[in-house]
Structure 1
Amino acid sequence: MTTPIQLSTAADLVRSFVVTGDTLGDRADLARFMREHRLTTDGAIPITLADFDEAMTLRDGMYAQLRRAAGHPADTEVINKAQRVLDGLRVTVRIEPSDGAVSALAPAVVDEVRRGLARIAGAWATILATGEWRKIKV
């Protein structure tokens, strides 16, 4: 019998993002996900098609990397595209993270969608640093 692994808040966020599959099918679904996970402020979130495509690229690349960690073949082009999304997100390190922060990395952008994606990127950086990403089952 194995003991279930309790995921950190950062790992739980990443896992929730990558396993959305068909439930994250359009811009309204992305806005709902971001509000439910407190990645953005409450209220209207204007999400462009480019924002949505960027979020899906990031999600698919993280999913591919987690599958690769579990020993499955991965599409390196999908992972490379996700890396380009991460490269374009601006984050900064906080000396003292705010309450409820999943990472010491914080968004350094004002656009709501990119702030949400930057928070996911911060969570990804946290689980990479701790090695917890290898424990996430997708």
Structure 2
Amino acid sequence: MKTQTPVRLSPAAELIAAFVATGSTLGDRADLAHFLRAHHLAAEGAIPITLADLDEAIALREGIRAVLDPSAEPDQEALARGQKVLDGLRVTVRLQPSREQLAPAVVDEVRRGLARLAGAWAAVLATGEWRHLRL
């Protein structure tokens, strides 16, 4: 019998795994603020989060989940909504190697957090780690 060696996920893949695992725990603006702070995607203190910010975070999460769900054909609407969020984020590529190759190019705390998630997703796609993530 062949045993499978566990795969050690990168920090980017761990972040994406935590984000897609939020499920119903990402139900309101306070939940989003808690997630952003807990994963160091936003500074401590008050974060002004609008309902539109929450909707974008959920759309991004559901789009990523649609890619990662091996049990079904990808939900095209979820993919389109998630892609729309990514298309609206401003990120910049770092010239020098660093922990974040794609970095936020925005000052808004929530959008900066979403941009960091986008950077993590780009890294997970580039390395192929998305294949090892489970819902």
Interval of TM-score (by shorter of Structure 1 and Structure 2): over 0.9
Q: What do residues 65-101 of structure 1 show as CA deviations (whole Å, max 9, x unaligned)?
A: 111xx25222111101100100000000112355xx3
Instruction: Specify every segment of 5 or more residues in structure 1 that has no aligned partner in the other structure, as ranges.
Output: none
Identity rate, percent: 62
Q: Residue type matched to 1:115 in 2?
A: R
Q: Deviations over 1:32-85 (max 9, x none)?
A: 000000001111101000000010000011011111xx2522211110110010
Aligned partner letter, 1:34: L
Which of 120, 123, 132 does residue 126 from structure 1 map onto? Answer: 123
Task: Please list every run of 5 or more consecutive structure 2 residues that lacks an aligned counterpart in the other structure.
Answer: none
Give every structure 1 segment of 4 or more consecutive aligned residues whose post-TM-superposition deviation is greater than 6 Å. none
- The question of 1:55 aligning with 2:57 is answered yes
What is the aligned residue count? 133
| TM-score normalised to structure 1 length | 0.92
- TM-score, structure 2 length as denominator? 0.94
Q: Within 2, Cα distance between the matches of 1:76 and 1:62? A: 11
Alignment partner, residue 33 of structure 1: 35
Root mean square deviation of aligned Cα: 1.2
3-state SS of 1:106 partner: strand
